[in-house]
Amino acid sequence: MIVGICRETCDGERRVALTPASLTPLIKAGLKIQVQAGAGDEAGFPDSEYQAKGATVVADRAQLIQQADVLVQVRAYGANPDRGFDDLQHMKAGQVVIGHAEPLLAHEQTKAMAARGVSLLAMELIPRTTRAQAMDALSSQANLAGYRAVLIGQDHLPKIFPMMMTAAGTLKPAKVFIIGAGVAGLQAIATAKRLGAAVSATDVRPATKEQVESLGGKFVMVPEAMAEGEGGYAKELTPEQQAKQKALVADVVADSDVVITTALIPGRPAPKLITEDMVKRMAPRSVIVDMAAERGGNCELTEPGKTVVKHGVTLVGHLHIASDVAYDASTMYAGNVVKLIQHLIGKTQEIQWNLEDEITRGVLVTRDGQVVHERVKQAMGA
């Protein structure tokens, strides 16, 4: 079985799906590895390192796609709608494609993959269970993005984070407010605390209060707006709950130097949690880092893919935060992908489609010309 590693074509995406070090267990299992020339360059992995681990470097992208039995990507077609279509014509029926694919939102791309006869495995649908923990790419990438978001906020803030007592006077610590205490939010809390900031955070899931406080953050609770969904994810609030949440959040946002938003709901656009009026109340030197920019942003004024200044506040709508640390992000993502492939092949050299298994069933989106994932079919209205 040939595993093909494509160079990422989405603008701003620097990661690579498999790293040279990650190939060893796959090659030991009897799999052959082909990598597109230059696939790992932007992440810091030259072709020579792949060759040293036993991979074959292929110059022609179309040839690599056509030959691969399993194609691994960071961003498959659904998560790369502008450039991903170019690859579709080279794919073949029965081929397995592994990558982020936005299947709950990218309906037309998902249908096109099904029509091509491709078996699509969407990494963002890995179940959040103990068995699947090593395959959980959302968590591994969110961890790094949360860390990086704090550094982005510090870069744009004309203040330092820690308290500093000097002969010239005392500098107060910066106030950092984090909206959403999932994996990214918790890492952001920990990073901001390590840099010396005074940190507060909020989340709609009651269980996160203890986690926030264990990291040294102050938890801002909106008792009337608590909503935890399936798998530990946040679920969408009612209009009344949203109003109560915004009322409390507004005061904290106004008092903060840096606000980092991480709130996402699976299969939905990002909820709008920060209004223009809230931004107007912030000090003119303040910063908002909107980690939900790819889904439209948690702030009404966020411009996805841009850094802008509005009402004196810097709004950062970075689309690929984990790509800023592409070497480590690729290393972690590759570990997730290898564990998934090992799970799928077992002790064989071929994919074993055991649909009784919750991991296989949970990650498989299309097969045999059909969309087979129940949540995705529901999202499509099927």
What is residue 237's predicted lDDT score, i.e. its pLDDT? Answer: 61
pLDDT, tens digit (0-9, with 9 covering 90-100), for 78-90:
999 999 999 999 9
pLDDT surpasses 60 at 120: yes
| Start-end of CATH 3.40.50.720 domains in the chain | 2-136+325-373, 144-324
Residue of 83, 128, 281, 361 marked catalytic: 128
Count other Cβ atoms within 10 Å, centred on residue 352.
Answer: 12
Rg (the chain; Cα; Å): 22
pLDDT surpasses 60 at 229: no
What is residue 247's predicted lDDT score, i.e. its pLDDT? Answer: 80
Chain centroid, CA 323 distance in Å: 10
For the chain, counts of helices (H) and of strands (E): 13, 17
> Binning pLDDT at 50, 70 and 90, where does residue 224 land?
low
Residue of 47, 136, 203, 257 marked catalytic: 136
pLDDT, tens digit (0-9, with 9 covering 90-100), for 33-52:
999 999 999 999 999 999 99
Residue of 63, 66, 139, 342 marked catalytic: 139
| CA 287/CA 164 separation, integer angstroms | 21
Exposed, middle or buried by CB within 10 Å (0-12, 13-18, 19+), for 364? buried
Q: Is 11 a catalytic residue?
A: no
pLDDT, tens digit (0-9, with 9 covering 90-100), for 165-182:
999 999 999 999 999 999
What is residue 382's predicted lDDT score, i.e. its pLDDT? Answer: 66
What is residue 227's predicted lDDT score, i.e. its pLDDT? Answer: 52
Is 170 strand, coil or helix?
A: strand
> Binning pLDDT at 50, 70 and 90, where does residue 240 land?
confident
Residue of 66, 83, 86, 133 marked catalytic: 133
Residue of 194, 233, 324, 361 marked catalytic: 233
Q: Is 255 a catalytic residue?
A: no
Specify the CATH superfamily of domain 2-136+325-373: NAD(P)-binding Rossmann-like Domain (3.40.50.720)
Q: Given this structure, which CATH class describes domain 144-324?
A: alpha beta
Mean pLDDT of the chain: 94
pLDDT surpasses 60 at 353: yes
pLDDT surpasses 60 at 277: yes
Among 145, 96, 157, 139, smallest CA distance to 121 is for: 96
pLDDT, tens digit (0-9, with 9 covering 90-100), for 7-28:
999 999 999 999 999 999 999 9
Q: Is 133 a catalytic residue?
A: yes
| CA 377/CA 95 separation, integer angstroms | 21
The DSSP letter of residue 174 is P
What is the sign of the dihedral through the CA atoms of 349, 351, 356 and 359?
A: positive
